[in-house]
């Protein structure tokens, strides 16, 4: 049973310990004496694209690829290495980001001058450390630890969704310097947005249109179609299926989808969570097997918006790598970055076969 304990860091930020079992003392104090930080975050409306852009200039000073012995996500070992986690060891930790893109305390005020619309960058950004082992990975976690991570994500999804103004909770992991990771310690992040992100908003619209036309769930229908076709399925359990999307954008991309129609992680039952704790890292290991070494990837939970169309949404985890071959990356060039038209070098069917370990 996951145990949760809360403390405050020396600058007032919240930190939560999630332990695999109760009975561990997590009362150690943060001795760094950090000053209170003012995060000047704002969001500006892009009138042409019809979406918000977050401006967070204070993030320029965030920690960037420190030496392993100076990692701020390691546990505090002694007085010479005080980190973000005061305890000398931990299972899973979640804490407010010291350099957040969104904040509940930004001093920015709303303003509207013609087409120039600014709103405060209200929200919250949290860091999720999966293990105290600096050299570990999510894929290498034991199943009980994966379950603890899932319990932490469930707790934070619920709590962040209760904050005033939060419209969407996005939990994700970036792994690998090629992806843009600035800290190599195994960790993820959670963003509580004051709006529904563009990708999720487009998905919501598609789900709504399909439901209005058919009375059915588009994700349920896609899952049924993938089961019927079979060629793009990578893993299949009693409660979840992992498959390469028919129109995959990335060289190697997998959707992990529950068979039951649920809106978010908190809606999963015990049997589903138990299977997910095994299937999720198994999929990540398949990514590592593609290149005989750690694969750079992004894994993001596509959950329902906090306040509307929750009955239409079907939970999914998207995992994708920007590596298309050993030593070769999929760069977002003119067509992708400039026109948002994706060109994939690998057919989804071949990608699925490679992820299954078949010769292609």
Catalytic residues: 187
d(CA 353, CA 286): 11
Q: Hey, what are 20's tokens?
A: 């695999």
Which of 101, 141, 105 is CA-nearest to residue 18?
141
Q: Hey, what are 79's tokens?
A: 């007085």
Q: Hey, what are 240's tokens?
A: 């979840």
d(CA 272, CA 258): 8
The DSSP code for 188 is E
Tracing tokens 């005989």 back to the chain, one arrives at 292
Which segments within the chain are labelled E, that is strand?
3-8, 14-19, 42-46, 51-55, 92-96, 111-113, 116-120, 124-129, 168-175, 187-193, 233-236, 240-243, 252-258, 297-302, 316-321, 323-325, 328-329
Query: What are the strands of the beta sheet with 111-113, ordered from one edge?
Result: 51-55, 42-46, 116-120, 111-113
Q: How far is CA 42 from CA 114, 131, 237, 256, in A?
A: 17, 32, 43, 33
Alpha helices in the chain (DSSP H): 143-161, 198-214, 218-229, 270-290, 339, 348-355
Tracing tokens 């409306």 back to the chain, one arrives at 45
């Amino acid at each position: 049973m996951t145990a949760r304990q809360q403390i405050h860091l020396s600058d007032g930020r919240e930190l939560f310990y999630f332990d695999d079992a109760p009975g561990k003392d997590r009362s150690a104090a943060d001795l760094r004496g950090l000053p209170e930080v003012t995060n000047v975050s704002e969001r500006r409306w892009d009138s042409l694209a019809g979406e918000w852009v977050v401006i967070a200039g204070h993030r320029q000073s965030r920690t960037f690829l420190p030496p392993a012995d100076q990692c701020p996500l390691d546990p505090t070992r002694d007085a010479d290495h005080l980190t973000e986690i005061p305890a000398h060891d931990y299972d899973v930790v979640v804490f407010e980001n010291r350099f957040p893109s969104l904040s509940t305390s930004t001093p920015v005020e709303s303003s509207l001058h013609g087409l120039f619309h600014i709103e405060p960058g209200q929200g919250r950004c949290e860091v999720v450390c999966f293990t105290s082992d600096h050299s570990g990975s999510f894929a290498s976690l034991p199943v009980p630890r994966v379950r603890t991570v899932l319990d932490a994500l469930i707790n934070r999804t619920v709590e962040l969704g209760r904050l005033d103004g939060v419209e969407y909770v996005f939990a994700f992991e970036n792994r690998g310097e090629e992806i843009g990771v600035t800290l190599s310690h195994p960790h993820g992040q959670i963003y509580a947005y004051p709006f529904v992100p563009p990708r999720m908003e487009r998905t919501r619209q598609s789900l709504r249109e399909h439901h209005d036309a058919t009375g059915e769930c588009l994700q349920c229908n896609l899952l049924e179609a993938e089961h019927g076709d079979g060629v793009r399925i990578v893993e299949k359990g009693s409660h979840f299926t992992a498959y390469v999307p028919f129109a995959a954008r990335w060289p190697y991309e997998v959707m992990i989808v529950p068979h039951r129609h649920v809106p978010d992680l908190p809606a999963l039952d015990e049997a589903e969570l138990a299977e997910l704790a095994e299937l999720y890292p198994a999929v990540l290991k398949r990514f590592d097997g593609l290149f005989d070494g750690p694969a750079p990837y992004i894994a993001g939970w596509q959950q329902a918006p906090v306040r509307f169309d929750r009955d239409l949404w079907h939970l999914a985890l998207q995992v994708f790598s920007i590596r298309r071959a050993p030593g070769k990356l999929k760069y977002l060039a003119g067509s992708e970055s400039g026109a948002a038209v994706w060109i994939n070098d690998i057919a989804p069917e071949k990608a699925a076969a490679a992820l299954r370990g078949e010769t292609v």
